[in-house]
Amino acid sequence: MAKHQHMLIWLLYAALAVAGLWLAFRFVLPWAAPFLLALITARLMEPGVRLLIGRFRFRRGFAAAVCSLFALALMLFLVGLAVNQLLNGIGTFARNLPEIAGQVGHAFGRMESYLYHFVIAAPVETQAMIQTAIDSITVMLEELPGQLSGGLLSFAASAAASFPRFFLFILTYAISVIFISVSYPQVIAFLLRQIPQRWHKRVRALGQDLVSTLLKWGRAQVKLIGVTFVILMVSFLIQRVSYGPLLAALIALIDALPVLGTGTVLIPWALFSFLGGNMALGVGMALTYATVSIVHSFMEPRFIGAQMGLHPVATLMAMYLGYRLIGVMGMITFPMIFLLLKQFHDQGHIRLWR
C-alpha cells in the first residue's frame, strides 16, 4: 500500500512539474524572455569580461561593454544574414512571378493536350471524373499567381505589423545585456538574497549546470552545422550551382536558427526550378532537402545526447515532448531541462528513478 502511495505522490509531483513548466513557458516566459536571455548572455560572457579585467586591467564597465557589443554585433550579423536571404528570396520570387505563371500556363497547355487524348482513350464511365479533375487543376493553376501574390502581401503586412514588437524585444534585450553584464556580481548577489541560504549551493550548481548545458548544446549545434554544410556543399558542387560553398555556408547557418531551416531555402528553390522548367535542379534540391532532413533526424538526438550525457532515446523524447507542448523552442529547451534533472538526480538532490 505504501509503495502505491509513494508512486501516486511521485506521479502527482511529476504532473505538477509538467503543468508548472507549461504555465511558465506559456505565460511567464514571453514577458520575462528578454531579461532571462540577457542574464544568460551575460553569464556566458563573464569569462571574457574577467579575462579583460585581469589581463588588460580594464574597468569592469568598459570590459563588459566591449564583450556585450561584440556579442550583440555577432548575433545581429547572423540574424541580418538570415533575414537578408529570406527577403532576397521573396523579392526574386515576386519579380519572377508573372514569368513563372506564364511558363506554368504554357507547360500545362501542352499537358492538357496530352491529357485530352488520355481522356478520350479512357473508359466512358471514367471520362467525366477525369475531365472534372483536369478542370479543377486548370482552375487551381489559373488562380495560383493571385493566391501567391496575396500570400506575399499578407506575409509582408504581418511582418510590418510585428516589427515594432520585435524591435522593442531586441532593444530591451540588447540594453539589458549591457546593464546586467556591467553589474553582474551585484545582480547575482541580489538574486541570491531572495533565496533561502540553505538553497544557495543548489542554485549555484543549477547555474553552473545551465551554463555547461548551453555550451554542450552549442557544441552539438556546431557539429550539426558542419554536417549540414558538407551535405549542401557536395550537392551544390555536383549540380554545379554558382557560389556553391558560400551558399552552403549561409543555408547551414540559417538551418541553425530556431523555426527556420534548410527547407526555408531549398523548398522554394526546388519549387521555382520545377515551375521554371529546370526539372534536374528541382529534383536535386528536393533530394538535398530530403537528405538533410533524414540526416538531421538521425544525427541530432545522437549529437545532443552525446554532448549532454543523455541517451539518444531520452534526447529524442525530450525534443518530441518539447515540440508538442510549446513548439520549436521546446525542441531546444526540453533536452536542457532533461539534462538538468539528470544532473540533479546524479548529484543526489532529487530522486526520479532507480
Per-residue pLDDT tens over the stretch 312-321: 677 778 777 8
Q: 91 or 72: whose pLDDT is higher?
A: 72
Is a pLDDT exceeding 70 seen at residue 347?
A: no
Q: What is the pLDDT of residue 249?
A: 82
Average pLDDT over residues 335-348: 70
Q: What is the pLDDT of residue 178?
A: 92
Is a pLDDT exceeding 80 seen at residue 175?
A: yes
Is a pLDDT exceeding 70 seen at residue 353?
A: no
| Most confident range, picked from 21-30, 174-183, 191-200 | 174-183
Region label for 59, one of left (φ > 0), alpha (ψ between -120 and 50) or beta (otherwise): beta
Q: Which amino acid is residue 293, in one-letter code?
A: S
Q: How confident is residue 76, by pLDDT bands cut at 50, 70 and 90? A: confident
Using CA atoms, how far apart are residues 263 and 185, in angstroms rounded to an integer?
Answer: 43
Average pLDDT over residues 168-195: 89
Q: How confident is residue 177, by pLDDT bands cut at 50, 70 and 90? A: very high
Is a pLDDT exceeding 80 seen at residue 231?
A: yes
Share the mean pLDDT of the chain.
76
The dihedral sign for the CA sequence 111, 114, 118, 120: positive
pLDDT tens for 47-69 read 999 999 988 888 999 999 999 99
Q: What is the pLDDT of residue 244?
A: 77
Question: Which grid cell is 44?
Answer: 556566458
